[in-house]
């Protein structure tokens, strides 16, 4: 019975498979080393949220996970706003969740082009495992925000107290 492939072709396929296995193993080991030294969390975005429809200004950040968070840990975010006490938020990790959002309640007195510090700490047993910071800035002056909501209710019914906008 004749072989479908010549002996040289079988050797070539075996060597190609061995090379692929070697490359995949090397990449896997390299990724493992990178993950071991990487932070658990990274601040992926943030800024001020201006909702003109309801006359509301908020600050917020988004946090991404690079690797699974330790058990019994928690994320603590602190928004430092001048003239007010820091706003602190806690969030325990949720299994398999990759992104988290932290958003303040309504704010007032936000100044354009001024930096507002936000701190992110990964805590465990009252010890800080990781610390990250971000400065939030806005180019929009709060005086551009209407004093009253422009609409009422779930639809877009104009608010008679806000029209015409001043």
Residue 7 main-chain phi, psi, to 5 deg: -55, -40
Alpha helices (runs of H) in the chain, residue ranges in sequence order: 7-37
In 3-148, DSSP assigns E strands to: 41-51, 56-65, 73-79, 87-91, 99-103, 116-124, 127-136
User: Could you tell me the CATH superfamily of domain 41-150?
Assistant: Immunoglobulins (2.60.40.10)
Q: 166 pLDDT band (50/70/90 cuts)?
A: low
Q: Is the pLDDT of residue 1 over 60?
A: no
CA pair distance 14, 17, nearest whole angstrom: 5
Which pLDDT belongs to residue 165? Answer: 60
| Single pTM value for the model | 0.75
The mean-pLDDT minimum among 39-53, 99-113, 143-157 falls in 143-157
Q: Is the pLDDT of residue 146 over 80?
A: yes
Question: Where exactly are the structural domains of the chain?
Answer: 7-37, 41-150
pLDDT greater at residue 122 or residue 21: 122
CA pair distance 71, 83, nearest whole angstrom: 36
Mean pLDDT of 101-123: 92
Cis peptide upstream of residue 164 (ω within 30 degrees of 0): yes
Which pLDDT belongs to residue 2? Answer: 59
């Amino acid at each position: 019975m004749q072989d479908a492939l010549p002996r040289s072709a079988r050797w070539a396929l075996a060597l190609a498979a061995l090379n692929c296995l070697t490359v995949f193993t090397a990449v896997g080991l390299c990724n493992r080393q990178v993950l071991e030294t990487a932070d658990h969390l990274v601040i992926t975005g943030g800024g001020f949220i201006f909702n003109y429809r309801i006359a509301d200004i908020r600050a917020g950040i988004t946090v991404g996970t690079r690797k699974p968070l330790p058990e019994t840990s928690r994320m603590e975010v602190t928004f430092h706003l001048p003239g007010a006490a820091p706003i602190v938020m806690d969030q325990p990790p949720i299994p398999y969740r990759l992104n988290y959002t932290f958003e303040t309640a309504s704010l007032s007195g936000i100044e354009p082009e001024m930096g507002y510090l936000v701190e992110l700490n990964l805590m465990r047993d009252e010890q800080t495992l990781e610390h990250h910071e971000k400065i939030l800035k806005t180019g929009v002056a709060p005086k551009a925000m209407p004093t009253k909501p422009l609409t009422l209710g779930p639809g877009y019914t104009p608010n008679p107290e806000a029209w015409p906008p001043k």
